Structure 1
Amino acid sequence: MSDTPRIRPGRQNRERPRKPEAAGPGAPARLGVLLRTPARAAEPLLAQAPKPWQRMLPFTIVGVFVVTLLPVTITVLTINYGLGGGWSGALGVAQTVPLLLAVTRPVRAWAVVLLADTVGALLLIQADKVATYPWPWPPMTIVGYLLLMVCLGLRESVRTMVGVWLATGVVGVALEFLRPAGTSTTSALLFVLAGVVLALTGALRGYGDAQRRIAEQESISEAERARRTLLEERARIARELHDVVAHHMSVITVQADSAPYRLPGMAEPVREEFAAIAASARESLGEMRRLLTVLRGDGTERAEGEKAPQPGIDRLQQLVEATVRAGQPVELSLAADAAGAARTAPPAVDLSAYRIVQEALANVVRHAPGAETRVSVTVDADEVLVLVVNGPARGAVVALESSGTGHGLVGMRERVRLTGGTLDTGPLPDGGFRVAARLPLNDPTRETT
């Protein structure tokens, strides 16, 4: 029975059927999203629309209203209300041209237009024909004011809209005390229509904001699903490592420990060799259990796993002795006080130095078995220097692996980067290989792991 499960092509696709695509949002939803409140105060309406003609649409609509209302306002004020031509022209410009500002700054446009409309209402009190027409807001003024309310409702907050609406009512009530005899009042009409337009456009804008928040939540949910998938994959890898690697390492340990009893009459050097194999296998099992604890991803389990002491420079002697017993000639140069000085080093530096030597020796065993190897570790007040140099492989010895994935060197570089140090690796002219690492002891930019 195979240790690793076989996965046939296409199995995952059959087990996880594709989720049907959700129906696209309707026209109101798309319009609501399109009209959502811009991020910047001076950003025009529809500035986030995907197409250029959509971004120009507000300017076009407001421009058409201005071009239409300007001559109509001047004509009506002059002919129907009997206001002088100069005053009619000035009021026409003051009441319509500021509408162009409503696309980007509707509150300022509203303040200018309301002031111009109020001045116009006061001037119309003395007009010759005002008694037979609406006052204080002529029909052209109402149309332009409602357009302004649309821009306000699509851009501003509820508090601002309520303030604008109440200010409109207050000005209308104040002008009622000056209403000329015989005129039909339009204060209540504008107040009601402005409230309705603000409510409708504000609701549309709110709907767009809700759609945007839903889209953001969906993005967050996708990120959470991706994170959960990653954790599940890590758990699966942990299970497979436990089922395959840990199982075989346990078998090796048992076989090495039981060899002297199963094979009586074994020579003492052979017994020592089997004991060394069993010790190495048990140490590998301990390392594997710590790795599995991290891969399983639970914060509590990880904390429990990190309570186990990590290897450091003080255990390099044992590592080299185990490598020598495996048949690899290795010479270790370690200052007498290096292990003691390493105890005051940051744990990341101490562990990284050990792991770099461990990986370098493992690479020598795999790719250049039997090659003369020198390991040098120096600890001073500022840094830890690690140097592993091996000569060419013996010609009569076949390498255990003729090619590699390069993951070992990548892991070395990652460990050195986390400590803020440098790593130099490369082949030597005589066919050997060199690994040199500098690990600073006091690096303020060191990442915490």
Structure 2
Amino acid sequence: MTTTGESVESGARGAPGGPWWWARRRSMVLDVLIALASVVECVFEGLDFAGEAGIPSGAGVSLGVIVGSVLVLRRRWPIAVVLVSIAASAASMGVLLTVIGLYTMAASGLPRRVTGVLSGMSITGTLIVTVVRFQRDMAKDGYHPPFWVAALVAVLMAVGITVPPTLSGLYVGARRRLVESLRERADGLERELSLLADRAEERAEWARNEERTRIAREMHDVVAHRVSLMVVHAAALQAVALKDPQKASKNAALVGDMGRQALTELRQMLGVLRSHEGQGTGRSAGAADPLPLASVAAAASAASSSASAARAGAAAPSGSSASDAATAAGRGIDASAPPRLRDEAIGGPCLEELEALIEQSRAAGMVVDLLVEGAEQTYAAMVETTAYRVVQEGLTNVHKHAPGAETRVRLARRLGEVAVLVENGPSDRAVADAGLPSGGNGLVGMRERVASLGGGFVSGPTDAGGFRVSAVLPDQAARREQAARAEREATAEQAARPDQAASSNEAARSEEAVPSEQAVRAEQDGRSDEAARFGQPAASEQAAPLPTKPVADSLKGRGPAA
């Protein structure tokens, strides 16, 4: 019986060949069978009513057929079926019609007050008809029972016919609506999960693209410089091969060293990538964790330090080892550890290796001056690595776009930040161009690196016909340490002078410790302005925005392009 009382909405599709309110063929067959049973019942009751009322039997049969067949419409018009059953109760017919009609009405989802009113009308009609018929039938047999007996029989009859189907219909309707709501909720959750899966796939694709970009940037930083120097030394080797065999031999050795260093860098970076892939496969067959950038940076660090060691083998081996040991000691790392592990712990090339980097460019024929300002101090590993990469990219661009240009590198160590500048003059027309290609990605990668640390980066041509690259990098760890030191000093001063108001100092320290978002943005914009002014000889000389590719081609004789 659960198929009866189905909602009108569920029958909108219709059964083939039947009225549209029948959702399924089974429901149509069930309704027709119930209607036939009701017609048979009403026909017999119509004959009895015709005999009692003194009307033709055909009229009673017709009335029974009409009343009984109303059940066919119970799904479409449940209220009309109940009203017909109430009216038919006056003729003592339609018990099945009343039961099925009340059940369908209660299960159809009509307002409770409508169901209650129609159920009350059905009970009232059944009570009246039952009392009258009971007293009349008892009088025919010569019995005259008390009125309360007739009333009791009528109440039992009315309650038995009306209440069970109504309660059953209410239960089935509530259960059906609950199932529908759960189904809709499940469908909604499925759609939401599908949407979340799509978004997760988009985020994963974005993360993969971001990781590819970072790996490409790392490979550009650690390999492009070496390859550029190899090309420069190869050109010099070709120029002096017959004139100065000793210098040609030296240049050939330098080319070999640079090539081996580049291969070492590539091998170490690929080793990091493959080892991470093997660990991910062994951990979970379906897992695809993104490669941490720190691993790539560690590989770059190992390659850079290995290059420094190889170069020092021909120039100053003891000085390089002392520099690595000093760097490791300055960062709290055991200097007796293997070089690769020590370099991975350090996290990348540091500022102490700038002199070696500049010596490589000097060996390739570049005139480079290094100016260091400020007391020697140690910054965070990523800060020093980024500053090193900025100088490296600036020197690489000079090799590419301004051969023979005089270059100056400036390093300013400050409390809580470090600033670097690479500026070159116009290229020397007498020096042959090495013909190094440029993809225009180096300065873009440097800008991304500096921005990720909250610093400012500016690059562009100068009025003298050269090119300038400058960056200001904050050291958040040093600033936090400085703030903690200032807080300790303020606490000690407050303890020494207890008469001072503690609340004002606490408020001032909290304001300094928790800057607003506008203050952070203003500070980063200020670093960009400072990077633009850093190293300018005149106030009229302003840093230009990042040149486009055509501008880069036009600056071939002036200085490095993007």
Q: TM-score normalised to the size of structure 2?
A: 0.41
Structure number with higher relative contact order (C-alpha < 8 Å, ≥ 6 residues apart): 1
Greater fraction of residues in helix: 2
Point out the structure with max Rg over C-alpha: 2
